[in-house]
Chains A and B, each alone.
Chain A
């Protein structure tokens, strides 16, 4: 019965909460709002820059939180624990795209903040894979490393990769790469290398080897390839769902290491995203590293929902004047049989039922 009533999102949350607690993560609850300055100081970390603000009674400018990670990292500042492991289920308020309508978005995720070692990074990646698997059906996780982007930019003699080039890489736009690189002063060789890296086929090993071969002088590229290789090997059987994809890029101001994004079949957008954000943690003085991810169960509403053919199993149609206790007895009797029932003295307009029971 509870199985039938609880939504797919609820079942997913319960199974994920159990999974995270098994790995020592504890539930973190937070307020719905934060001081606006937390977000205005870290705009690039946010998925959307549109924020709902309001004035507090003491004159401070507050905001309905558009993000959870910032609040957790801020909360971790000055903690005595070496590593803090938390999971959450929270609503965030943001727009899908600039200028769009605000939406309340449910988010489930976890964060591991503090002095992270190699195991902590692997654990977060493993749990991200398990979280995606818990949604059900086929799934795939794209994985990349921000160090590779940094290394490539340095190889091209730049401090950071120009935005236009990043846009080209993100959209796997190989045909415009030469023109865009040229307009950014990067030359034809840089464009050719990026094209070859993005079009490298085969398995993960081939793609990592391509990164090493194309940027042999870059210690950052070599180290990124090595770290990805070690993590994938450590994931064992689970690594099959992970695919190295260098077109995956997050904001380098915050993300610095492994980043990933999860997809499930029959859903058009990424439903999970996360990665290593040491730069953000250091900025807040909350330790030396952070890693985490978020899953968006609201996005999966349609995926879980399916098509509901009936509003209830039975319409209990009673005549006016029927003693209420008789109606209640019939409805509770049907409920005891595991059927849903809608009692009314008339046929409700626009509703559909499997059967009608007249009393």
Chain B
């Protein structure tokens, strides 16, 4: 039996559809129910929906054998897990952005507003740039508009929100997509099952990447 942590929301549903096509179906999963754990003995799989940022926690602690997490969450959490497959869905970019008339003042630390403080610190430290991180939990774009920060480090999907707020991308940090992750210890003991799942999922990827 494979225990799978799926992120609640559109991404999780998209990935479940891939898993369903790969033979890991669980009919109850998409029904409107208050149940939290869904088991399908026939498919040999048990799913649970969790908050996207919690997927790495469930997998790292071995409650889930495998899970699906965005590269953004994976990088920010620094979870010690195996990253077995790029699912090639939920594509976007981790970027540094600011208002269109932004001019950097290199004589003082750069104020960076972000939901991803570790990503921001690592990125700017690799450039030897001193920064002051302002951790926010939402509406990150507002920070440079109101002068809370000079720049933001955030996920950019289409860039429409930035454009509508007279902002633009300054630098791209890394591309993001959903990744299939596995607990390192569980992988040792369920390797055949997990590898089989990876191979079956590869055939359901949106394009030929990873094949």
Q: Which A residues lie at the B interface, using CB under 8 A? A: 97, 138, 140, 142, 171-173, 175-176, 201, 243, 247, 263-265, 267-270
The answer on a CB contact under 8 Å between B188 and A172 is no
The answer to the question of B209 belonging to the interface, with a C-beta cut-off of 8 Å to chain A, is yes
Name B164-211 residues within 8 Å CB distance of A: 179, 183-186, 188-189, 195, 209-210
Q: Which residue of A lies closest to B190 (CB)?
A: A265
Q: Does B86 contact A176, Cβ atoms closer than 8 Å?
A: yes
Determine if B78 and A267 form an interchain contact, defined as CB atoms under 8 angstroms apart.
no
**15 pairs from A and B in contact (CB 8 Å cutoff):** A138-B189, A140-B188, A171-B83, A172-B84, A175-B83, A175-B85, A175-B209, A175-B210, A176-B83, A263-B185, A264-B185, A268-B60, A268-B185, A269-B62, A270-B185
A265 to B65, CA, bound (A): 12
- Shortest C-beta distance, A354 to chain B (Å), equals 31
A269, B82: Cβ atoms under 8 Å?
A: no
Contact B186 A268 (CB under 8 A): yes
**Looking at the complex, which one of B85, B183, B189 makes contact with A140 (CB distance below 8 Å)?**
B189
**A175 vs B185: C-alpha distance when bound (angstroms):** 21
- Give the docked Cα–Cα distance between A142 and B61 (Å): 19
For residue B81, CB closer than 8 A to chain A, the reply is: yes
Q: A172-B84, A173-B83 are in contact. Are A270 and B184 (CB under 8 A)?
A: yes
Contact of A267 among B62, B80, B82, B86 (CB under 8 A): B62
The answer to whether A175 and B189 touch (CB under 8 A), given A97-B78, A267-B62, A269-B184, is: no
Asked, given contacts A97-B78, A172-B82, A176-B86, whether A243 binds B188 with beta carbons under 8 Å apart, the answer is yes
Whole-angstrom CA separation of A201 from B82 in the bound complex: 16
Q: How far is the CA of A175 from the CA of B179 in the complex (A)?
A: 10
Given the interface contacts A97-B78, A173-B83, A176-B86, does A265 sit within 8 Å of B189 by beta carbon? Answer: yes
Please give me the residue from chain B that is nearest to A264 by CB atom.
B185
Query: Could you tell me the distance between the alpha carbons of A247 and B191 in the complex, rounded to whole angstroms?
Result: 14
Give a binary string over B115-127; 1 marks a CB under 8 Å from any A CB, 0 the rest: 0000000000000
- Closest Cβ of chain A to B117, distance in Å, is 10
Closest to A175 in B: B86
Closest 3 CB pairs of A and B: A268-B62, A175-B86, A173-B83
Please give, as numbers and ranges, the residues of chain B lying within 8 Å of A267 by CB-CB distance. 62, 185
Complex Cα distance, B179 from A138, in Å, reads: 29
In angstroms, Cα B60 to Cα A267, docked, is 11
Q: A171-B81, A171-B82, A175-B86 are in contact. Are A268 and B188 (CB under 8 A)?
A: no
Cα–Cα, bound, A175→B140 (Å): 30
> Min CB distance, B173 to chain A, in Å?
12
Q: A268 — which chain B residues lie within 8 A by C-beta?
A: 60-63, 183, 185-186
What residues of A have a CB within 8 angstroms of the CB of B83 in the complex? 171-173, 175-176
A-contacting residues, B54-103, CB 8 Å: 60-63, 78, 80-86
Q: Which residues of B contact A265 (CB under 8 A)?
A: 189
Distance from A325 Cβ to chain B, minimum over Cβ atoms (Å)? 51
